[in-house]
Amino acid sequence: MPLEQLNFITGNRNKLAEVKAILGDVVPLQSKSLDLTEIQGAMEDISKDKCRRAATIVGFSILFTITIARCNVLNIWKIGGPVLTEDTCLCFNALKELPGPYIKWFLQALGHEGLNNLLIAYKDKSAQAVCTFAYSSGPGHEPILFQGRVTGTIVPARGPTNFGWDPIFEYDGETYAEMDKAKKNTLSHRAIALSKLKQWLQTQ
Ligand SMILES: O=P(O)(O)OP(=O)(O)OP(=O)(O)OC[C@H]1O[C@@H](n2cnc3c(O)ncnc32)[C@H](O)[C@@H]1O
Ligand SMILES: [Mg+2]
């Protein structure tokens, strides 16, 4: 069954731009900028919880719209779903995969240099960039996960600083920030996860 519309819920403009560039016209994407509350725990549990929250919020906002318009409330679920959320982790192997899902707060507090300093005492500078998309067909529908993982090296910052930890994540001799955007979008953790999502959507 062709997908009518997918709501990608994120508060991050750069993620949205990459998702749009990678998905192209294949998936009809709408976006909503919401900074969703994120629980603590394993990345899969965080991703599922984030997606459930998104589905509920989108469902509620549509219920509100429908109530105002005095339309048929029974159409809520159909109009409310499907939602897509994404959670990105940066896992330092020497630190037993920390900061992992807490990278946003580590990056905000320590910056690129501080993140490098976390690894000073270790020879192993390798890290995994992990992207987990969660898809729910609407409120009450259990989220399905699609994950992409790329192993790279944490290095002193190189390249433009407009997207998160891109300047300190080196893959095959280049940091993500130094890479042409189109190149990052063919090989990144996000691209791998989205290719799995796209494949799955085609079977629905
Ligand atoms: O609303 P959401 O989608 O949650 O957006 P967010 O910015 O809060 O994102 P996360 O919770 O997934 O936190 C991941 C952190 O990693 C950063 N990040 C995500 N993807 C990245 C990428 O491909 N390259 C560099 N930094 C990235 C992002 O800016 C955050 O600081
Ligand atoms: Mg977030």
Task: Please indicate, yes or no, if residue 196 is contained in any of the structural domains.
Answer: yes
Average pLDDT of the chain, as a whole number: 90
CB atoms within 10 A of CB 6: 20
According to DSSP, the β-strands at 126-136 and 174-175 are: unpaired
Task: Give 89's contacts (C-beta < 8 A, 6+ positions apart).
Answer: 43, 99, 100, 101, 103, 128, 129, 130, 131, 132
Give residue-wise pLDDT tens across range 138-184.
Answer: 888 999 999 999 999 999 999 999 999 999 999 999 999 999 999 99
In a domain, 20, yes or no: yes
Q: Is residue 1 part of a domain?
A: no
Residue 63: inside a domain, yes or no? Answer: yes
Question: Is 65 inside a domain boundary?
Answer: yes
The 10s digit of each residue's pLDDT in 120-144 is 999 999 999 999 999 999 888 999 9
How, if at all, do strands 6-9 and 29-32 pair?
Answer: parallel
Task: Determine whether 10 is exposed, middle or buried from the number of CB atoms within 10 Å of its CB (0-12, 13-18, 19+).
Answer: buried
- 108-121: average pLDDT: 98
pLDDT of 203 strictly over 80: yes
pLDDT at 60 over 70: no
Spacing, Cα 15 to ligand 1 middle (Å): 7
* 179 Cβ below 6 A of ligand 1: no
49 CB less than 6 Å from ligand 1?
A: no
pTM: 0.91
What pLDDT is stored for residue 81 in this prediction? 66
Whether residue 46 lies inside any domain: the answer is yes
Quick one: pLDDT band at residue 28, thresholds 50, 70, 90? confident
- Give the Å distance between the CA of 184 and the centre of ligand 2: 21
Ligand nearest to the CA of 104: 1
Asked if residue 88 belongs to a known ligand binding site, the reply is: yes
Q: What is the CATH number of the domain that holds 135?
A: 3.90.950.10
Q: How many domains does the chain have?
A: 1
Domain membership of residue 141 (yes or no) is yes
105 or 5, which is more confident? 105
Ligand 1 binding pocket includes 11 (Cβ within 6 Å): yes
Question: Cα separation of 134 and 83, whole Å?
Answer: 8
In a domain, 26, yes or no: yes
| Ligand 1 neighbourhood includes 163 CB (under 6 angstroms) | yes
In terms of residue numbers, what domain contains 105?
6-202
Any binding-site annotation on 52? no
